[in-house]
Amino acid sequence: MNIVERAIPADIAKRLEEADTHPLLAKLYAARGVLEAAELNTSLKHLLGPEGLKGARAGAERLAQCILSQERVCIVADYDCDGATACAVAYLGLKLMGAQFVSYIVPDRVNDGYGLTPLIAQRVHDLGAHVLMTVDNGMASFTGVKLAKELGMDVIITDHHLPASTTPAADVIVNPNQMGCNFPSKNLAGVGVMFYVLVALRAHLRELGHFGEPPTQQPKLDALLPLVALGTVADVVVLDANNRRLVEQGLQRMRQGHMPLGMKALLEVAGKGASTLSVQDLGFILGPRINAAGRLSDMRQGIECLITDDPIKAHALAKTLEDINQSRKGIEVEMKEQALEIATSMLDDADTPPKALCLFDPDFHEGVVGLVASRMKEIHHRPTFVFAQSQSQGKEHLLKGSGRSIPGFHLRDALDLMSKRHPDLILQFGGHAMAAGCTIEEDRLALFEVAFQEVAHERLDEQALQMVLLTDGSLGAEHCNWSVAELLKVSVWGQGFLPPVFVDDFTVLAQKIVGMKHLSLSLNVAGLEVSGIWFGRTEPLGGHARLAYRLECDEWRGQKKLKLMIQCEA
What pLDDT band is residue 372 in, cutting at 50, 70 and 90?
very high
Within the chain, all domains assigned CATH 3.10.310.30 are found at 350-459
Mean pLDDT in residue range 124-132: 98
pLDDT band at 109 (very low <50, low <70, confident <90, very high): confident
pLDDT at 313 over 80: yes
Which residues are CB-contacts of 279 (< 8 A; sequence separation ≥ 6)? 233, 247, 251, 492, 493, 494
Phi, psi of 469 (to 5 degrees): -110, 115
pLDDT value for 559: 78
Q: What is the pLDDT of residues 148-207, one digit of tens each?
A: 999 999 999 999 999 988 999 999 999 999 999 999 999 999 999 999 999 999 999 999
Query: Taking 90 as the threshold, does the pLDDT of residue 431 lie above it?
Result: no
pLDDT at residue 216 greater than cutoff 90: no
Q: Which helix (H) or strand (E) holds 284?
A: none
Q: What is the mean pLDDT of the chain?
A: 95
pLDDT of residue 324: 97
Measure the CA–CA gap between 384 and 357, rounded to whole angstroms: 5
Average of per-residue pLDDT across 443-470: 96
| CATH number assigned to the domain covering 45-321 | 3.90.1640.30
The enclosing H or E element of 484 equals: helix 482-490
Tens digit of each residue's pLDDT (9 = 90 or more) over 381-407: 999 999 999 988 888 899 999 999 999
* CA–CA separation, 431 and 439 (whole Å): 12
Min mean pLDDT across 60-64, 110-114, 513-517 is at 110-114
pLDDT at 369 over 80: yes
Q: What pLDDT was estimated at residue 240?
A: 97
The pTM (predicted TM-score) of the whole model is 0.94
Portions of the chain given CATH number 3.90.1640.30: 45-321
Residue range 428-435: mean pLDDT, rounded: 89
Report the pLDDT value the prediction gives residue 286, as an integer from 0 to 100: 98
In sequence order, the β-bridge partners of residue 99 are: none
* 214 pLDDT above the threshold of 90: no
Predicted pLDDT of residue 4: 96
According to CATH, the topology of domain 350-459 is Diaminopimelate Epimerase; Chain A, domain 1 (3.10.310)
Nearest CA among 233, 235, 225, 226 for reference residue 83: 235
CATH class of 469-569: mainly beta
**Cα separation, 32 vs 445, whole angstroms:** 40
pLDDT digits (tens, 9 = 90+) for 321-356: 999 999 999 999 999 999 999 999 999 988 889 999
Adjacent-strand bridge partners of 507: 524, 544
Local structure of 176: helix, strand or coil = coil
Rounded to 10 deg, the angle between the 299-307 and 81-96 helix axes is 40
**Mean pLDDT along residues 247-251:** 98
Highest mean pLDDT pick, 109-118, 354-363, 431-440? 354-363
Q: How far is CA 337 from CA 330, 343, 370, in A?
A: 11, 10, 15
State pLDDT tens for residues 483-514.
999 999 999 999 999 999 999 999 999 999 99
Extract long-range pairs of 515-521: CB within 8 Å, 24+ residues apart: 519/566, 521/564, 521/566
- What is the maximal distance between C-alpha atoms in the chain? 75
pLDDT computed for residue 164 by the predictor: 87
- Where are the domain boundaries for CATH 2.40.50.460 in the chain? 469-569
Q: Is the Cβ–Cβ distance between 388 and 416 less than 8 Å?
A: no
